[in-house]
């Protein structure tokens, strides 16, 4: 059992460099499968989700080399293989390989990627879109077999915004026969990054970052080197840490332009924000106030992935506040643990009402999923006394080293060795 021990209650002071984006790196790694050759992907975060994705790619006969944050993928020998179920189930993003593999090999067998504690995470939009492009999908009890002689362009009108479905359909379209239109496409920066990688490799894509994507299938894509943008959710997590603890921090390389809704929410709580080419400065000198009605939305709205972190900050803000989750059906899992720390929160379906308290007290906590686990680290950093957060492997899925990062911001934080039963996943060299 892995755990982080924190002695909280102090203001933050310091700076941290923001890692590459998990949610951009994963679809870009999947896109590398489309290229019959070598790609170099720079600024790739060394997190367990990337590790699992690389393992999956190796099982598909890719050759993977890693030099620090640069991943070299040789996908020239990609063939039809069944993906190892242990990695598919561990990580939902394995579904992102589907579109790319169908484009490359025409045949994929995989288990359903499965849900997680935040929601059922169905993939109906992915499968409906691929069927529209000429894929025959035989669903089984625990998974499906997908086959196609040739992917053909289609018009997709997504009934609601889905980041993953948008990404899968982009990956299936760039080498398809004919044109594809994706209406009601996701506009997240991670979609723009994926399109940037593909365009640099020779794909014909218009409308990246808008609600309508037009993709003209091309014969082949060529080798490319591409740099993953900084992670706006990791940057937003540490901005929320400043809201929780107070103090002043600098987030080096934070993608300020992609964080407008997050910075606006932080400013509405009393944070002083400074943006520059180098990164984002934040200072919280007075007790925070409640944001006026925070609602999670698709980009460019306030991101669901920062809902837990801002909830932690709201527990210590002055007054009464409301936070509404509109993307996932079960994303308030940390409420009982925040209540154990002294927070006053009432849950009403997909909304929580928070009455701010002066202080939280440290206690034993258990991470149940990635972003909730990170929020517990923030709450423990703000709480008086000692907190121990167990199951930190969930947090390692998306943060290279949250403990080290929080130490850089002045938090007394360490990994509890006696809890470490196995070496960290990332010590393995590829
Ligand atoms: C991506 O997940 C991100 N993951 C999530 O980040 C993020 O929270 C989410 O987008 C929303 O921004 C990665 O990029 C790897 P969706 P994804 O498809 O693609 C429903 C994190 O912490 N839906 O946009 O799975 C779905 O259940 C993770 O980094 C269907 O009903 O999200 C959800 O309610 C968590 N059918 C909503 O749509 C489908 O076929 C949005 O999901 C697909 C989705």
Please say if the pLDDT value at position 352 is more than 90.
yes
The residues annotated with a catalytic role in the active site are 116
Q: How far apart are CA 23 and CA 21, in angstroms?
A: 5
268 SS3 class: helix
Query: What is the pLDDT confidence band of residue 255, given thresholds at 50, 70 and 90?
Result: very high
- Which pTM does this prediction carry? 0.95
pLDDT digits (tens, 9 = 90+) for 74-115: 999 997 656 666 665 556 677 989 999 999 999 998 888 866
* Residue 241 Cα to chain centre, angstroms: 18
Q: Give 429's pLDDT tier (boundaries 50, 70, 90).
A: very low
Ligand 1 site-directed mutation target among 94, 327, 331, most atoms within 8 Å of CB: 327
The pLDDT score that the predictor gives to residue 428 is 41
Secondary structure (DSSP) of 138-165: EE-SSEEEEE-S--B--EEE-SS--HHH
Q: What is the pLDDT of residue 268?
A: 98
What pLDDT band is residue 420 in, cutting at 50, 70 and 90? very low
pLDDT in tens, 145-176: 999 999 999 999 999 999 999 999 999 999 99
Contact yes or no for 259/288 (Cβ under 8 A)? no
Half-sphere exposure of 351 (CA within 13 A, CB side): 7
Q: Distance between CA 265 and CA 240 in Å, rounded? A: 10
CA-proximal residue: ligand 1, atom 15 (nearest): 23
Comparing 61 with 168, the larger pLDDT belongs to: 168
Is any ligand 1 atom within 6 A of the Cβ of residue 395?
A: no
- Whose alpha carbon is nearest atom 1 of ligand 1? 163
Are residues 151 and 172 in contact, defined by beta-carbon separation less than 8 angstroms? yes
Q: How does the average pLDDT of the chain come out, rounded?
A: 93
Ligand 1 centroid to 161 CA: how many Å?
A: 9
Give residue 123 CA to ligand 1 midpoint distance, Å. Answer: 9
Confidence band (pLDDT; 50, 70, 90) for 419? low
* Nearest alpha carbon, ligand 1 atom 3: 23
Task: Quote the percentage of the chain above a pLDDT of 90.
Answer: 86
Ligand 1 centre distance from Cα of residue 274 (Å) = 30
d(CA 14, ligand 1 centre) in Å: 33
Q: Could you report the per-residue pLDDT of 289-315, keeping only the tens digit for each? A: 999 989 999 999 999 999 999 999 999
Confidence (pLDDT) at 427: 39
């Amino acid at each position: 059992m892995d755990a982080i021990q924190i002695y909280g209650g102090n203001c933050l002071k310091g700076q941290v460099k923001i890692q590459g984006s998990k949610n951009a790196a994963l679809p870009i790694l999947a896109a590398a499968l489309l290229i019959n050759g070598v790609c170099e992907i720079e600024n790739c975060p060394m997190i367990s989700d990337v590790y699992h994705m690389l393992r999956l790619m190796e099982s598909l006969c890719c050759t993977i080399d890693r030099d620090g944050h640069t991943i070299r993928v040789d996908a020239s020998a990609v063939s039809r293989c069944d993906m190892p179920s242990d990695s598919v189930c561990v990580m939902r993003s394995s579904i992102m390989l589907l579109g790319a593999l169908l484009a490359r090999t025409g045949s994929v067998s995989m288990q359903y990627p499965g849900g997680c504690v935040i929601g059922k995470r169905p993939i109906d939009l992915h499968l409906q879109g691929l069927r529209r492009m000429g894929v025959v999908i035989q669903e089984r009890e625990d998974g499906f077999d997908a086959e196609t002689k040739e992917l053909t362009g289609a018009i997709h009108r997504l009934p609601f915004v889905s980041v993953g479905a948008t990404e899968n359909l982009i990956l299936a379209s760039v080498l398809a026969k004919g044109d594809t239109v994706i209406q009601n496409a996701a506009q997240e920066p991670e979609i723009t990054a994926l399109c940037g990688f593909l365009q640099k490799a020779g794909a014909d894509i218009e409308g990246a970052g808008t609600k309508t994507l037009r993709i003209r299938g091309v014969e082949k894509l060529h080798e490319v080197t591409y740099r993953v943008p900084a992670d706006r959710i990791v940057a937003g997590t540490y901005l929320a840490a400043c809201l929780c603890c107070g103090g002043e921090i600098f987030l080096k390389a934070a993608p300020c332009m992609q964080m407008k809704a997050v910075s606006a929410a932080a400013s509405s709580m009393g944070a002083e924000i400074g943006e520059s080419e180098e990164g984002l400065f934040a200072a919280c000198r007075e007790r925070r106030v409640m944001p006026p009605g925070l609602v999670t939305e698709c980009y460019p709205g306030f991101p669901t992935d920062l809902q837990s972190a801002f909830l932690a900050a709201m527990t210590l803000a002055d007054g009464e506040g409301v936070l509404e989750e509109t993307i996932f059906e079960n994303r308030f899992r940390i409420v009982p643990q925040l209540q154990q720390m002294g927070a006053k929160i009432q849950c009403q379906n997909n909304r929580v009402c928070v009455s701010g308290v002066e202080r939280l007290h440290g206690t034993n906590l258990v991470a149940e999923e990635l972003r909730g686990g990170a929020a517990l680290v923030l709450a423990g950093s703000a709480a008086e006394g000692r907190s121990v957060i167990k199951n930190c492997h969930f947090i390692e899925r998306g943060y290279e080293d949250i403990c080290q990062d929080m130490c850089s911001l002045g938090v007394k934080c360490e990994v509890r060795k006696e809890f470490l039963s196995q070496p960290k996943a990332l010590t393995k060299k590829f």
